[in-house]
Amino acid sequence: MRLPWQSGAVSVWKRGFPFYLAKPRSAVEKLRASAARQVWREGSIWKRAVLVGAMAASWPIVTLFQSAKAGRAIARETGAAFLPSLFKLYAVALTRNVPPPHYAKYWLVYGPESLPLPDLLIEPDQRTLTKLSQARGAVLQDVQDKARFERICRQQGLPCIPTIASFDNGHVTGEQQVNEWPDAVFVKALTGNRGAGAERWDRSGSHFVSSNGMKLTGEELLSGLRRQNCIVQPLVVDCDPLRDLGSVALSSLRVITVKGKARATVVAALFSLADESDALISHLGTACGIDVEYGTIIQAGPARPKEGVTRKPQWDTLVGVSLPFWAETVDLVRKAHYEAFPAFVTLGWDIALTAAGPVLLETNVSWAVANHQFRTGPLGRTALGDVIDELLSTAPDRLSANPAT
If asked whether residues 243 and 283 sit together in one domain, one would say yes
For residue 306, tell me if it sits in a domain. Answer: yes
Q: What is the pLDDT of residue 280?
A: 60
Give the separation between CA 186 and CA 164, rounded to whole angstroms.
10
If asked whether residues 220 and 333 sit together in one domain, one would say no
pLDDT confidence bin for 6, thresholds 50/70/90:
very low
Q: What is the pLDDT of residue 301?
A: 85
For residue 398, tell me if it sits in a domain. Answer: no
CA 108 to chain centre: 20
For residue 402, tell me if it sits in a domain. Answer: no
pLDDT confidence bin for 14, thresholds 50/70/90:
low
Residue 171, number of CB atoms within 10 A of its CB: 8
Q: What is the pLDDT of residue 2?
A: 33
pLDDT over 70 percentage in the chain: 88
Contact 4, 366 (CB under 8 A): no
Give the separation between CA 216 and CA 192, rounded to whole angstroms.
26
If asked whether residues 149 and 210 sit together in one domain, one would say no
For residue 63, tell me if it sits in a domain. Answer: yes
362 — phi, psi (to 5°)? -170, 175
For residue 273, tell me if it sits in a domain. Answer: yes
Per-residue pLDDT of 46-84, as tens digits, reads 888 887 888 888 889 989 999 999 999 999 989 999 999
- What is the sign of the dihedral through the CA atoms of 77, 81, 86 and 91? negative
Tell me the mean pLDDT in the region 299-322.
77
Q: For the chain, report the end-to-end CA distance as a whole number of angstroms.
A: 19
Q: What is the pLDDT of residue 1?
A: 29
Q: What is the pLDDT of residue 281?
A: 57
Q: What is the pLDDT of residue 53?
A: 85
- Long-range CB contacts for residues 340-343, cutoff 8 Å, separation at least 24: 340/152, 340/153, 340/156, 340/158, 341/138, 341/142, 341/143, 341/152, 342/259, 343/133, 343/136, 343/137, 343/138, 343/139
Give the separation between CA 84 and CA 92, rounded to whole angstroms.
12
Q: What is the pLDDT of residue 278?
A: 61
If asked whether residues 242 and 230 sit together in one domain, one would say no
If asked whether residues 187 and 116 sit together in one domain, one would say no
CA 293 to chain centre: 21
Domain with 316, as residue range(s), is 141-160+238-364
Give the separation between CA 370 and CA 106, rounded to whole angstroms.
8
If asked whether residues 67 and 189 sit together in one domain, one would say no
If asked whether residues 97 and 24 sit together in one domain, one would say yes
Q: What is the pLDDT of residue 309?
A: 59
- Tell whether the model's pLDDT for residue 86 goes beyond 90: yes
If asked whether residues 293 and 338 sit together in one domain, one would say yes
- The model carries a pTM of 0.89
Q: What is the pLDDT of residue 312?
A: 75
For residue 405, tell me if it sits in a domain. Answer: no
- Number of folded domains that form the chain: 3
Q: What is the pLDDT of residue 404?
A: 34
If asked whether residues 148 and 286 sit together in one domain, one would say yes
If asked whether residues 209 and 272 sit together in one domain, one would say no
Q: What is the pLDDT of residue 315?
A: 86
- C-alpha distance from residue 375 to each of 290, 301, 351 (Å): 8, 9, 18
- The three-state (H, E, C) secondary structure of the chain, written as one string: CCCCCCECCECHHHHCCCCCCCCCCCHHHHHHHHHHHHHHHCCCHHHHHHHHHHHHHHHHHHHHHHHHHHHHHHHHHHCCCHHHHHHHHHHHHHHHCCCHHHHHHHHHHHCCCCCCHHHCCCHHHHHHHHHHHHHCCCCCHHHHEHHHHHHHHHHCCCCECCCCEEEECCEEECHHHHHHCCCCEEEEECECCCCCCCEEEEEECCEEEECCCCEEEHHHHHHHHCCCCEEEEECCCCCHHHHHCCCCCCCEEEEEEECCCCCCEEEEEEEEECCCCCCCCCCCCEEEEEECCCCEEEEEEECCCCCCCCCCHHHHHHCCCECCCHHHHHHHHHHHHHHHCCCCCEEEEEEEEECCEEEEEEEECCCCHHHHHHHHCCHHHCHHHHHHHHHHHHCHHHCCCCCCC
How many CA atoms are closer than 13 Å to the CA of 257, on its beta-carbon side? 28
Bridge partners of 207, per DSSP, are: 204, 217
For residue 286, tell me if it sits in a domain. Answer: yes
What is the residue-averaged pLDDT of the chain?
87
If asked whether residues 276 and 186 sit together in one domain, one would say no
Between 112 and 87, whose confidence is greater? 87
Q: What is the pLDDT of residue 377?
A: 94
Among 218, 234, 250, residue at a domain's last position: 234
If asked whether residues 270 and 154 sit together in one domain, one would say yes
Per-residue pLDDT of 179-220, as tens digits, reads 889 999 989 888 876 555 678 899 998 889 987 889 999 889
Contact 50, 2 (CB under 8 A): no
Give the separation between CA 117 and CA 110, rounded to whole angstroms.
10
For residue 381, tell me if it sits in a domain. Answer: no
Q: What is the pLDDT of residue 275?
A: 83
CATH of the domain at 269: 3.30.470
Burial of 212 per CB tally in 10 Å (0-12, 13-18, 19+): exposed
